[in-house]
Structure 1
Amino acid sequence: MNVGKFITAAGFMALLAGSATAATIGYSSPNFDDNFQTILREAAKSYAEGKGDKLLVEDAREDVGTQLSQVQNFIASGVDAIVVAPVSTESTPAITKLAKQAGIPLVYVNRRPADLNTFDGKVTYVGSDNYQAGKLEGEAACKAAGGKGDAVILIGFLRNEDAQNRTKAVKDVLATDGCKNIKVLAEQEGEWQRTKAQDIVANWLSAGMKPSIVLANNDEMALGAVQAMKSAGISMKDVVIAGIDATPDAIKSIEAGDMDITVFQNAKSQATNSIDAALKIIGGEKVDKYIDVPFVPVTKENLNKFK
């Protein structure tokens, strides 16, 4: 008996067995240029590859049709599961239908799908309660402003349920007794983007508006507001700037004394939970329709925990 040949054959069979258990997962990101989505996407890719699986990543470029085509291509290529951070939460029923018809596990991540209540054990959503994020942001901003001032609100995409929930929560906080002396001067869609928000705030300032509070649906827009105000010669000590996500840039901005508040959205936990959920469904397990990753408010007082 040739032991060498036997070991080589055994090793080869083990290799085959290992590759058979590796999963291929399609991942559609709404926008590669979005800072938070980049953190989320890279964390998912790193985690999947660390487990020996393969993540095929595509950029939908904030286009619903492009994302739908990507899902169709994933299905046609025979992936084992699909993870989608939706461009528009209203477009998710069409994506869910495609995945169900193909019998492919589907995980939505970060942006709450409109058809969440219809999900079964093979379709799930991994994310955070965006109403809670807006509530935490509004409460912290109100406290920092002493319960009074003139505010502006920067909204992500009006079509996006996450943006809607964050905005509604902020407004609900401002309607409470302790915050009702904060007046909303204006609100506008900033598309989650720093440059867009900077232009909006610059235009407001040029028109003579003097907001003392900026409530942004995410950190990128809050950072855009900081840039616009600094360019206009406004001291950051005179305004309260609040965002959501606790991105590295936002943490640095709070440390520098520019931004005042953010709300930690755990991108890594959302990413790892989405991959784990996909792998569980592939393995025949049923998962909950919603897997929650809690938000945490971040200010100068607890900043060191998030560096």
Structure 2
Amino acid sequence: MKRLILALLATAALTGAASATTIGVTIGKFDDNFLTSVRTAISAEAKDKGVSLQVEDANDDTGKQISQIQNFIAQHVDAIIVNPVDTSATPKMTQLAVAAKIPLVYVNRKPEDKQLPPGVAFVGSDEKVSGTLEAEELAKCLNGKGNIVIIEGQLSNIGVLDRTADVEAVVARTPGLKVVQKQTADWDRNKAIDLMNNWITTGDKIDGVAANNDEMAVGAILALKQAGRDPKSMCIGGIDATADGLAEVQNGNLYVTVFQNAKGQGKGAVDAALSLIKGDKVPSIVDVPFEKVTKANLKDYLAK
């Protein structure tokens, strides 16, 4: 009888293991503050839902990310979550997942597919809102007059193009504002320091900085400090409301950031994947709204 009970328990354990839901996750770059928050939220939601994850770092390499997706497919995972390195490569990724009949969820960075097919969804925020919120606050800070520089993220990312275009649109409808420089720093703080240093040494009059993310905004702030200039003498904006970004808002060095809900995106990606696995209908776009953050409402976001 004892042997029979042990055998039944072993069988039950094997059956439970076999039926456990597994989701493959590939993140564009682990070494990114905001994406780390998204990844943490994905892990927390998966743990809460009893889901097994296989999480991979694409390390900013599109070829590596596609290979990771192919490996997930070969392992017959139940769903795949992708934070794409290069959004122009998403049609290929979609094609791979659809052919394998595996649900696919893009998170944070909007895919460039003309239309997402059934079984594929995007969970993220409308980038056209983020750049607009940032630029409108900078225009207020500058009283509608001055020279602005734009620090861009990776140009292969459609979100970068949207964020920059939105800043330029606000500048275009504000006659006293002018964009005098625009270059990429690849989302990177150190590259933003170097870029801002170059702009400072050229002698161009700069009144405002519109960075595509907080990391680069912080880089601009550090460059100004290194040059012996007070960041508070400029109007500087970022996007994402990272912990470092919020700290600079609190210090008065960053005039505005835009809260992008990393927890909401990570949780939403896992929930969308689970719904697709069950065969439930999921909208092709699951919007997680952007929210403007200044010193006036900072306390509402410090806990987030």
TM-score for both structures, normalised by structure 2:
0.95
Residue type at the aligned position of 1:50: D
Shift of 1:51: 1.5
Tell me the SS of whatever aligns to 1:118.
coil
* Aligned match of 1:125: 122
Choose from 49, 53, 57 the match for 1:59: 57
* Aligned match of 1:147: 144
* Aligned match of 2:67: 69
Shift of 1:9: 7.2
Choose from 226, 242, 246 the match for 1:247: 242
Matches within 5 A, 1:91-240: 91-115=89-113, 117-176=114-173, 179-240=174-235
Does 2:82 correspond to 1:87? no
Residue type at the aligned position of 2:261: N
Residue type at the aligned position of 2:193: Q
Shift of 1:127: 0.6
Tell me the SS of whatever aligns to 2:298.
helix
Distance 1:280 1:6 in 2: 38
Choose from 272, 281, 288 the match for 2:283: 288
Gaps of 5+ in 2: none
Shift of 1:21: 4.4
Count of residues paired in the alignment: 302
Distance 2:251 2:13 in 1: 52
Residue type at the aligned position of 2:181: A
Contact 1:219 1:244 survives alignment (8 Å):
yes
Same amino acid, percent of matched pairs:
47
Contact 1:152 1:186 survives alignment (8 Å):
yes
Tell me the SS of whatever aligns to 2:130.
helix
**In the superposition, relative to structure 1, how do residues 6 and 180 fare at CA in structure 2: closer, same or farther (>3 Å)?**
farther
Structure 1 window deviating more from structure 2 (266-275 vs 13-22): it is 13-22
Shift of 1:79: 1.0
Distance 1:43 1:150 in 2: 38
* Aligned match of 1:35: 33
* Aligned match of 1:277: 272
Contact 1:158 1:189 survives alignment (8 Å):
yes
Residue type at the aligned position of 2:134: E
After superposition, the CA RMSD in angstroms is 1.7
Distance 2:250 2:82 in 1: 33
Shift of 1:209: 2.2
Tell me the SS of whatever aligns to 2:297.
helix
Q: Deviations over 1:20-67 (max 9, x none)?
A: 543111111111111111111111112112221111111111111111
Gaps of 5+ in 1: none
Q: Deviations over 1:196-248 (max 9, x none)?
A: 11100001111112311000000011000000011111112210110000001
* Aligned match of 1:46: 44
Residue type at the aligned position of 1:100: V
